[in-house]
Amino acid sequence: MAVPQDVHVRICNQEIVKFDLEVKALIQDIGDCSGPLSALTELNTKVKEKFQQLRHRIQELEQSAKEQDKESEKQVLLQEVENHKKQMLSNQTSWRKANLTCKIAIDNLEKAELLQGGDLFRQRKTAKESLAQTSSAITESLMGISRMMSQQVQQSEEAMQTLVNSSRTILDANEEFKSMSGTIQLGRKLITKYNRRELTDKLLIFLALALFLATVLYIVKKRLFPFL
C-alpha cells in the first residue's frame, strides 16, 4: 500500500530532525573527547553514518517537494529543504571545529605524558600520524558533501529556470487566447449582422413578389373583365 504524500513528508521531516539532533550530540562528544585517538575515530565514524542518513532523508524530502501538485506547497517544501541543507553545512563546520578541539586536547595530553617519559615520544608521533589520516579522511568527506550540495544547487537552479519557462509559455498562451476571443467576438457580430441583412432581403423579396402578383392580377382582371 502506497504511503500518502503528506505522511511521507512528515516522516522525512521527523527523521531529519532526529538525525540532526544525533549529529549534534556526537559533535558535542567529540568536542569533549580528550583521547585516546581510537575513541575519536569511533565517534567520527558514527558522525559519518549519521550524516549519510541525514543527506538521504533530505534528498527524499526534496524529491517529494518536486512531486507536489500545488506550486505553493512545492515552494514551501523546497524552502524547508534549503534550510535543512544549511543546517547540515553548519553541523559540518561544528564537526571540524570539534575535531580540532579534540586534537588539541590529545596533543596536550601527549605533552604531559612526554614529560613523564621519553618513550611516549614515539606514541605521540604515531597518534599525530593517525590523527592526520583522520583529518584527511574528514576533509575528503567534506569535499564530497560540498560537491553533492553544489549539484543539488545546480538542480534547483535548473528547476527554477524550467518554472520560469513554463510561466512564459502560459502567458503566451493567454495572449493568444485573448486574441482568439477578439476574433470570435468580431465573427459573432458579423454573423449577427448578416442574419439581420438576410431577414431584410427576404422581406423585400416578399413585398416585391406580392406587388408583382397584384400587378398581374390587375392586368388579368382588366383584360378578362373590362366591365368591372
Angle at 56 between CA 63 and CA 32, to 5 degrees: 140
2: left (phi over 0), alpha (psi -120 to 50) or beta: beta
The residue type of 62 is: E
Distance (Å, rounded) from C-alpha 97 to C-alpha 113?
24
Per-residue pLDDT of the chain (228 residues; tens, 9 = 90+): 334 567 888 888 899 999 999 999 999 988 888 778 888 889 999 999 999 999 999 998 888 888 888 888 889 889 999 999 999 999 999 999 989 888 888 888 878 777 776 555 566 667 677 777 777 778 777 777 877 777 776 787 777 777 777 777 777 767 776 777 777 887 788 778 777 777 887 888 888 888 888 888 878 877 777 666
Cell numbers placing 123 = 606514541
pLDDT at 46 (0 to 100) = 92
Angle at which helix 120-224 crosses helix 71-116, to 10 degrees, equals 170
Q: Which amino acid is at 185?
A: Q
CB 22 within 8 A of CB 88: no
φ, ψ for residue 33 (rounded to 5)?
-75, 135
Q: Residue 65 corresponds to which cell in the numbers above? A: 517537494
Which pLDDT score is estimated for 119? 54
Pull the grid cell for residue 86.
544549511
Report yes or no: 228 and 221 within 8 Å, Cβ to Cβ.
Answer: yes
Residue 69: C-alpha distances to residues 74, 107, 134, 174 (Å):
7, 56, 45, 21
C-alpha 115/C-alpha 121 separation (Å) is: 10
